[in-house]
Amino acid sequence: MIRIPAMAVLLARLASAAADTDQSSSHKVPSSRDFGEIRREVETLRGKRFVRAVPVYKISEKELRAMSDHELDKEFPGSKLRSYEELLAWLDMLPPQTDLKAVYAKFLVSQAAGLYDSDAKEMCIPSFSIGTTNHAKKATAKKLEALSSEIDDIVLAHEYTHALEDQYWPLDDPKDHDCKGSTDRGTAHTFVSEGSATREMIEAIPAQWAHGSAKQYFLLWNLIHSCLGELALNWALSDVWKSPDALVEGVPETLARTEAMPYSFGYSFCSGVMRQWGLDGLDYIYSHPPASSAQVMHPDKCWEWRDFPVQIDLPETLPGGWKRVSRDSVGEAGMVVLFGCQFRSLNRGLKLARGWDGDHVALFEGSGGHRLLLWASSWDSANAAGRYVDACVKERRAAHRAVITRNSGARIEWERSDGRSGFIRRDGKRVILVETDSSEALRNAEAYTREVVFTEPPEDAVRAAANCALRRFNPFWSWQEDGDYTVTRTIGGLLSRHDRNSVGAADRLLLGMLAEWRRTASLNRWELGGGLIAKHEAEARRGFVRTTVLPWGMLASHCLATLPQSPGKTIQHTSILWGLGTSLTMDGSGCHSVQVLPFGLLLRIATGPGQSSVHILGTGCLHKEGPDNSGSTARFRLLGIPIWTTHTLPPETDKTRP
């Protein structure tokens, strides 16, 4: 995606957190709040510990604006920023004369409730009055309001996930800023980091909402991780980037949509990886990051059979004295935003950008200050390339009242109302667009196109040599290998399928309807009958175990977990017939509860620090110690009806006799 400067890449380094509302006259002062509980939650849920502390500071609006300007100056020093603004305007990603520094400052000040700065390795929380969450996260948070009202702490869990992962896989990767490639690797990195943090943010909800109650914790955790829960979350978050809440007043729609996209596509991608391979799989993705936003938007292109983009090289100079002043890769995600916003249909943008296989765009400066745009792209198929060509022409006509002056099928030329002219040419799956404000330059444009070099990814040749077509597409027994990922299928995968990679292995029989088993170093997951007969999941890194018999644990279920905010406390809950038969709950602090029949009508036993009770058919006694050794209370019930209550004072206070 177009880097503004990699709009999402910057916000991965400066991402929102929860606000501390105290005002301060200084520009940057340490925060007095204790964030230990949230840090422990993130460590437990992410399965990794902080290597070093993350200082938290309160910052002024002036300091926030200075941080925004610093990031842009670092990405585009000197005159490069102005040239990049021009490039974006020529692509119609920004209105002409847009001041990126002003836009950035407005965006961050209006939406940022806190920042994780990966340069300084610290969390910065604005001390001035702002909302509790940014617009993109606000849209996400609205989807979660029914689950938790503690949105600020949940968003803080999101940001601490960024801080934790940055200590193992730096958020600010120099490879993300390489403009030479024809891929948007930086955007893909942002999609993954935001998706992972959003997933951890959601998984922190049970711990923060249950307040230590084992029964409530497992109820919400199982709801989030159930098939219906996963579908509901994916459906809700998939529209975050399309929502009106993603827009920020005074900020171009293309930039606001760009910033919001990682929360939708990144979440879907990361939650899918974790469902299949757990935290080990997510770690692998960070160590072997996707090469493009297309791989995240279409997860099947990322791992099992990777789709690497075509390398497209653009020259530094063109015949006639043209000198390159700025360049980048738009990527599939950027094209979605470009066409979606121009045509006022984001779904249409998704369709038009599908099939992207690499692009490289550059803006050149000629004599007299003239400009020339050269945009080359490659597509998965001729049909996808044709859709892109049609979209480019329609966009020029709609946005600039362009008039088609020549249409020879493979080449279409136009003239715009502002005096610019251009053409687009398709050669099979490859497309080159040229647009300029110099009529003389356009007459020599064919010479410019010959300077573009398309190179197929070397990984494709290696993969083709390792895979025999007959063996890969054999309908009875097939085998394929891509890197460290091997897949074996029987009857096209209908009878059985075996996946193996450096993370672990997975087996599936009858499309998983009979049985499925996945295992990694820390994950062991199996199910029978598509999970309708029995299902088991254990992930050692986060200390969670869940076993169910019959759908949703109707017959029996057992859950055991390390409580995220208290890693030394293990909680568990066991039930038969959804707890209507028998249930056992242990909250890790010495409290135990046993119930037989609904509400413990037949038997109810509860023990804990300072209290115990036993009731059979509603008949029994509750004994409770008072606070600060103030005595004890005993309550007796007969068939659920209170009979009498006694209070006993401690011996040292019972001095009624001389």
When divided into structural domains, the chain yields a total of 4
Please give the distance of CA 402 from its chain centroid, rounded to a whole number.
39
Measured at the CA of 275, the angle between CA 274 and CA 281, to 5 degrees, comes to 35
CATH number at residue 413: 3.30.200.100
The per-residue pLDDT for 629 is: 72
How far apart, in Å, are the Cα atoms of 146 and each of 69, 350, 357, 585? 38, 30, 40, 25
For residue 567, say if its preceding peptide bond is cis, omega within 30 degrees of 0. Answer: no
Pairing relationship of beta strands 122-126 and 56-59 according to DSSP bridges? parallel
| Within a domain: 448 | yes
Q: Are residues 518 and 568 in the same domain?
A: yes
Q: Are residues 252 and 343 in the same domain?
A: no
| Within a domain: 497 | no
Range of the domain at 620: 610-658
How far apart, in Å, are the Cα atoms of 555 and each of 294, 525, 528, 576, 600? 43, 19, 14, 6, 18
DSSP sequence for 24-89: -SSSEEE-----HHHHHHHHHHHT---SS---EEEE-HHHHHHHHHHHHHHHSTTTHHHHHHHHHH
157: left (phi over 0), alpha (psi -120 to 50) or beta: alpha
Q: Are residues 588 and 614 in the same domain?
A: no
Q: Are residues 161 and 207 in the same domain?
A: yes
| Within a domain: 226 | yes
> Cα(351)–Cα(459) distance, rounded to whole angstroms?
27
Contact 603, 615 (CB under 8 A): yes
Q: Which helix (H) or strand (E) holds 2?
A: none
Question: Which of residues 428, 458, 488 is at a domain's end?
Answer: 458
Q: Are residues 125 and 223 in the same domain?
A: yes
Polymer length of the chain: 658
The per-residue pLDDT for 631 is: 78
Q: Are residues 220 and 349 in the same domain?
A: no
Q: Are residues 39 and 79 in the same domain?
A: yes
The per-residue pLDDT for 114 is: 66
Q: Which residue has the tokens 């990405």?
A: 75
Q: What are the structure tokens assigned to 254, written together?
A: 């293309």
**Phi/psi at 627 (nearest 5 deg)?**
-70, 150
Q: Are residues 102 and 11 in the same domain?
A: yes
Q: What are the structure tokens assigned to 4, written together?
A: 């503004």
Q: Are residues 253 and 173 in the same domain?
A: yes
Q: What is the pLDDT of residues 425-465, one digit of tens each?
A: 999 999 999 999 998 888 888 889 999 999 999 999 999 99
> Cα(641)–Cα(214) distance, rounded to whole angstroms?
28
Q: What is the mean pLDDT of each run of 10 residues along the chain (658 residues)?
A: 40 39 59 88 95 90 84 86 95 93 82 76 76 49 46 80 95 82 92 94 88 86 91 91 89 91 95 95 95 95 92 94 95 96 96 97 94 97 96 95 92 94 96 93 86 95 92 94 95 95 96 95 96 95 95 92 88 91 86 89 89 90 80 87 83 50
255 forms beta bridges with none
Q: With 0-12 CB in 10 A as exposed, 13-18 as middle and 19+ as buried, what is 180? A: exposed
Contact 151, 17 (CB under 8 A): no
| Within a domain: 465 | no
DSSP sequence for 242-255: GSGGG--TTS-HHH
377 forms beta bridges with 359, 431
Q: Are residues 58 and 154 in the same domain?
A: yes
Q: Are residues 86 and 187 in the same domain?
A: yes
> Cα(116)–Cα(13) distance, rounded to whole angstroms?
6
Question: Which of residues 554, 584, 602 is at a domain's end?
Answer: 602
Q: Are residues 570 and 640 in the same domain?
A: no
The per-residue pLDDT for 2 is: 41
Helix, strand and coil percent figures for the chain, each rounded to 5: 40, 25, 30
